Amino acid sequence: MKLNHFLNLLGLVILLFSFLAASVLYHFVYLPGIESQIRSQQEKELLAVQRGIKFAQKSLETLCYDYAVWDEMVKFVYSKEPAFIASNLSVNSFEAADIDGAYLFDTQGKLLWQHFVNPDFSSQRLQKDNTTWIGQVLPDENIITKQLPSTRNGIINLDGTVVYFSNAVVLPTSAMGEIVGSLLMVREIDNGLVDQIRQLSLVNFNIEGLDPEKSYSGLTNFNSMPHIGSLASKHEWLINDVFGVPTLKISVVHDEKISPSILTPQSILLFITLIIASACSVIPVSVMILRPIRSASLVLDRMAERGVLYKMRTTWHIDEIVRLTSSFNLMVDKLERHQNYLESLSYKDPLTGIANRRSLEVFAQRAFTQWKEGKGVIGFLMIDIDLFKEYNDTLGHQAGDKAILSIAQTLLLECRRRGELVTRYGGEEFCVVIQGDNFAQMELLSKRMLEKVRELNIYHPKSCFDGRVTVSIGGVFYERFHPSFSDVSWEGMIAQADEQLYKAKLSGRNKLMLEYKRVEPLKLVE
């Protein structure tokens, strides 16, 4: 056999062996792993859509409950005064909240009042016999007898228009007393709502209405935990209404390919590189191909293990790998911006814009850890708006929200130094974390906040202090850590500050009560 023939035969054998090896690796190693990753990604996309839908529904549920559990709404059920509608149930309020229809019923399911954006949501489009709604949409006799707050949420079909609804019983603000009716709010499941959920979930999906008279076999309910049996570019589920009737079909379109093809530029480049490496050496392969792949794999593994986004190195010898890693880094930048935006929303109070309870937990834990390590001092202030319930009951919830917003901004202006964080603790309560100050500075800050809130001159018809809104403050301050403080937690410190707030309330409100925790130095006996 001539040498050139041998070389040609050897080259053919190497080519066939490389192709066979590449095919085996692709079908039995690479492809199963990729399909597992794609399946996991598709399930995550489905879960993101579910959470996005629940998040979009939550605002309607909260608004309906706030309007229903209200003393003024109870009075309106009996009086039906037009003045109440003009001041509290205006069209602008519902349009701002994207509410398409609102309906007030008595305990027997009789319609007392309605608001709708267009004729599709008028009372003529409601169920002709509201008694069929009792138990699923409207409260039944058992719920009314208990005299306790209750809600019903879900999807219903209003004569061809599919809406998400929330229904809450009408009873006093204290959430105790006689139930006089129920309030129903609806929002149409239209393209606008779908676009909002798409922006929240970052997933491409569509929602399509169904004919309730037809049967839809082979599709499962979307409310269950998402599970991908077989990979597909699109998956479909059914969404039933509260009566168990298939009402909507949701189609999730995935971005990932179903099965990556072996004939890609990367696989061809890898195949050629295997031939060159078999004939020459593995060094060029290691330097130019394996190192970038190994580096990318390490980055992806680290991302999967830690749940944190990392960028890839872009200084490689091959232009395609440079472009690939650069594109990957651009995608990481985009995902980080989305992630930071969503995290910023989760750390802010939606009404006041200041830090929320979650921010308090993170900041307080960090300050407490530093304090236990001997780095400075720590203090907590609990601030409560005096007679706020009376303020709400007298002037309404919208005035109460404005008062909370004004006070929150005032407190924020006073807590501008490093180591100070003002947060909304809940309702009309605020919590301030102070790190690195001394007791005198903390007392001075508290007095300033009392004074600045009074200077807002917010009118309060029930206040005993010149008809102005005031606050009461309770606080606790700990000197540098001492072993005698080992059993103290930051949650316990807040509880101590809350006790001081209670004392300030008992002493007449518009007061300041601070507790100074320190260890007295030992003295020598002469």
| pLDDT tens readout for residues 58-115 | 888 999 999 999 999 999 998 888 888 888 887 777 887 888 889 999 988 888 888 8
Rounded to two decimals, what is the model's pTM?
Answer: 0.45
Query: Per the structure block, which two tokens stand in for 448?
Result: 């300033």
Class of domain 357-518: alpha beta
Cα–Cα distances in angstroms (integers) from residue 183 to residues 14, 77, 122, 178, 389, in the given order: 77, 10, 15, 15, 22
Q: Which amino acid is at 469?
A: V
Longest dimension (CA), the chain: 113
pLDDT at 193: 83
pLDDT at 213: 77
Written as six digits, the tokens of 300 are 């992806």
Q: In the block, which residue shows the tokens 């999967």?
A: 304
pLDDT tens per residue across span 381-436? 999 999 999 999 999 999 999 999 999 999 999 988 888 899 999 899 999 999 87
Q: Give pLDDT < 70 ranges for the chain.
A: 1-11, 14-15, 18, 22, 26, 123-125, 127-130, 223-226, 255-267, 270-271, 274-275, 277-290, 336, 338-346, 520-526
Q: Are 317 and 308 in contact (CB under 8 A)?
A: no
Amino acid residing at 367? A
Closest CA to 353 of 345, 362, 363: 345
Q: What is the pLDDT of residue 2?
A: 47
Residue 192 has a pLDDT of: 85
* 19-260 to CATH, choices 3.30.450.220, 3.30.70.790, 3.40.50.1820, 1.10.760.10: 3.30.450.220
CB 447 within 8 A of CB 512: yes
| Beta strands at 378-385 and 471-478: parallel, antiparallel or unpaired | antiparallel
CA angle 500, 505, 511 (to 5 degrees): 80
CA distances from 301 to 296, 306, 332 (A): 9, 9, 15
d(C-alpha 368, C-alpha 379), whole Å: 9
Q: What are phi and psi of 162, to 5 degrees?
A: -85, 130
> From CA 207, how far away is CA 210, in angstroms rounded?
10
Which among 274, 318, 325 is positioned nearest to 298, based on CA atoms? Answer: 325
Supply the pLDDT for residue 3: 38
In this structure, the chain runs to a length of 526
Nearest to 450 by CA among 424, 430, 478, 435: 430
HSE, side-chain direction, 13 A CA sphere, residue 308: 5
For the chain, give every domain's residue range. Answer: 19-260, 265-338, 357-518
